[in-house]
């Protein structure tokens, strides 16, 4: 098993390189690079105008469009030197790789702060949202899925399946908007705050007041994030238990006089939960990084998702590539943990033997 883990760790290196290279090429080809963003700001233009100034991404184009606006070539050259665009693209890429090997992500183009500091500042918000969402999803989905499996075909199973299908069909961001309209002062009730994770006077509150304020703010984002994962995990749990309940070892246990409770929790539960428990790291990837982006934007939560979104809009390349590097690295590590979890839950699984 140690050899398998070592191979997976070594495989992460070319995977990271490939993903960074592909995204470096794509981002460089996108119109409206950071130089054009800076020129647009200096001329009082909005950011959308900057996308019309340059069709080649981060490398500035010293053409007639800029000359016609009276932009001095010396100022453009200073910006290129400041952002590092006076070097060829391949040299910038290899410089980036050397820095990323020591987790040096450079400084933000527009925030004048190290990217690492920005990520550390925003990371607790994303972790908080992801952990509470995961906890809520598992606390509801697993008992509900087990209950649906035990009462398969009953009216309870039918109407709960309808709710699950509706939940699966509603995107998380659309459900977030619905929650805002209903409960955050949209058109009906003004019960929950619209933005942020804490109130402005959070530091002056008592310990119990801080706890209530925190959960008051995070309730709607967590509900919106959980809706899609809740439906998927519920059906996965039900199908997994249904598959195990009808296997021969369950019939044998019942024939020996074992009660339903003993059969369910003494025999079925561990085997049925294998795919669910082992899939937790993979679920965290989607909840933390994929599903949190729009939720953070809608509720104005200063997490990594919102940071990455703002960086893309501003063409803040160090922040874009820094968050991308972190997402990819954590994703690869969680996938490895997922495989190790399979082995921990069921020792009969041996990935090393399969690869051999």
Tokens of 14: 């070319």
Q: What pLDDT score does 79 carry?
A: 66
Per-residue confidence (pLDDT) for residue 53, from 0 to 100: 39
Considering just the CA atoms, what is the radius of gyration of the chain in Å?
Answer: 25
pLDDT for position 166: 84
Rounded CA gap, 132 and 167, in Å? 18
87 with 37: CB under 8 angstroms?
A: no
Instruction: Going residue by residue through the chain, which has 356 residues, state the pLDDT in tens, using 9 for 90 and above.
Output: 677 778 888 888 888 888 888 888 887 777 767 777 676 666 665 444 444 434 444 444 444 444 444 445 776 676 666 667 777 888 888 888 888 888 888 888 878 888 888 888 888 888 888 888 888 888 888 888 888 888 888 888 889 888 888 877 887 778 888 888 888 776 677 788 877 788 888 888 888 888 888 888 888 888 888 876 777 788 888 888 888 887 888 778 777 777 777 777 777 777 777 777 766 766 666 666 655 677 888 888 888 878 888 888 888 888 888 888 888 888 788 778 777 777 776 666 666 555 54
Under 8 Å CB-to-CB from 39, ≥6 apart: which residues? 50, 53, 66, 69, 71, 76, 79
CATH annotation of 119-355: 1.10.3720.10
Q: How far apart are CA 171 and CA 352, in angstroms?
A: 39
Taking the C-alpha atoms of residue 250 and residue 315, their distance in angstroms, rounded to an integer, is 58
Residues 228 and 233: their CA atoms lie apart, in Å, by 9
Domain positions in the chain: 2-100, 119-355
Facing residues of 107 across strands? 114
């Amino acid at each position: 098993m140690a050899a398998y883990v070592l191979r997976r760790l070594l495989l992460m290196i070319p995977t990271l390189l490939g993903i960074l290279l592909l995204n470096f090429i794509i981002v460089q080809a996108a119109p409206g690079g950071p130089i054009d963003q800076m020129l647009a700001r200096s001329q009082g233009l909005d950011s959308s105008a900057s996308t019309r100034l340059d069709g080649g991404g981060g490398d500035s184009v010293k053409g007639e469009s800029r000359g016609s606006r009276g932009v001095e070539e010396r100022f453009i050259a200073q910006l290129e030197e400041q952002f590092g665009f006076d070097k060829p693209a391949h040299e910038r890429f290899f410089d980036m790789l050397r820095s990323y090997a020591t987790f040096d992500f450079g400084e933000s183009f527009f925030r004048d702060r190290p990217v690492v500091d920005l990520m550390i500042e925003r990371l607790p918000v994303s972790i908080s949202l992801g952990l509470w969402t995961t906890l809520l999803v598992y606390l509801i989905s697993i008992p509900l899925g087990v209950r649906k499996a035990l009462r398969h075909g009953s009216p309870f199973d039918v109407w709960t399946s309808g709710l699950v299908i509706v939940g699966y069909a509603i995107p998380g961001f659309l459900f977030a908007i619905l929650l805002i309209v209903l409960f955050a002062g949209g058109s009906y009730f003004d019960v929950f705050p619209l933005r942020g994770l804490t109130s402005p006077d959070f530091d002056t509150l008592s310990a119990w007041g801080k706890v209530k304020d925190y959960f008051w703010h995070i309730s709607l984002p967590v509900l919106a994030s959980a809706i899609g994962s809740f439906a998927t995990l519920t059906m996965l749990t039900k199908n997994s238990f249904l598959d195990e309940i009808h296997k021969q070892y369950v019939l044998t246990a019942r024939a020996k006089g074992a009660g339903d409770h003993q059969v369910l929790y003494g025999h079925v539960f561990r085997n049925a939960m294998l795919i669910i428990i082992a899939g937790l790291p993979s679920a965290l990837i989607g909840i933390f990084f994929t599903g949190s982006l729009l939720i953070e934007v809608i509720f104005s939560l200063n997490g990594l998702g919102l940071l990455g979104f703002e960086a893309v809009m501003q063409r803040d390349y160090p922040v874009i590539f820094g968050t991308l590097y972190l997402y990819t690295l954590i994703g690869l590590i969680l996938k490895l943990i997922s495989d190790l979890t399979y082995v921990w839950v069921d020792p009969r699984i041996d990935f090393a033997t399969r690869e051999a």
